[in-house]
């Protein structure tokens, strides 16, 4: 069971792009980690647009991670954080984290915003399928 006492969210309405599903997936992973592993009571989630990038920040006040544990997780290819980093880098983005044991974890994921209008015409809709078949 995941239980967080408080969560704060800030979402910039202009923060949309071609990688929205990826950023949502990364946010879900980070929130799950905060609830399951960090014993966090407060999580801050912010999504904003900076020039041609969409930036996701997730910060918690949980137990944090020892620096060597972060390196081990990335080196071992652990599914959670390592997967988030790999997926962000695969689309030309970045994934960085900072942590202090006992003082929480702060993650920043950046993805190129791309051109949503251009992406829509290149997807399934360009083959004559309606986006919503209701």
pLDDT value for 8: 67
pLDDT value for 6: 60
Cα distances from 132 to residues 12, 76, 107, 125, in angstroms, run 26, 41, 34, 10
Domain 12-114 falls in which CATH fold?
A: Heat Shock Protein 90 (3.30.565)
pLDDT value for 38: 85
Per residue in 46-72, pLDDT tens?
Answer: 999 999 999 999 999 998 887 677 667
pTM for the whole structure: 0.76
Give the position of tokens 């390592």: 82
Name residues whose C-beta falls within 8 Å of residue 93's C-beta, 6 or more positions apart in sequence.
19, 53, 109, 110, 111, 112
pLDDT in tens, the chain (134 residues): 455 556 668 888 888 888 999 999 999 999 988 888 888 888 999 999 999 999 999 999 998 887 677 667 666 655 788 889 989 999 999 999 998 888 899 999 999 998 655 544 443 333 343 444 44
CA separation for the pair 13, 5 (Å, rounded)? 26
CA separation for the pair 76, 61 (Å, rounded)? 25
Half-sphere exposure at residue 6, Cβ-oriented, CA atoms within 13 angstroms? 8
């Amino acid at each position: 069971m995941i239980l967080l006492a408080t969560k704060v969210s800030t979402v910039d309405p202009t923060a949309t792009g071609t990688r929205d599903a990826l950023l949502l997936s990364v946010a879900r992973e980070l929130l799950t980690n905060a609830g399951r592993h960090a014993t966090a009571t407060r999580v801050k989630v912010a999504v904003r647009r900076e020039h041609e990038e969409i930036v996701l920040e997730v910060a918690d006040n949980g137990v944090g991670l020892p620096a060597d544990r972060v390196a081990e997780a990335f080196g071992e290819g652990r599914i959670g954080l390592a997967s988030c980093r790999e997926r962000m880098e695969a689309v030309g983005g970045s994934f960085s984290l900072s942590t202090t044991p006992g003082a929480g974890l702060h993650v920043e994921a950046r993805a190129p915003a791309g051109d949503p209008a251009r992406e829509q015409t290149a997807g399934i809709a360009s083959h004559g399928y309606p986006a919503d078949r209701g």
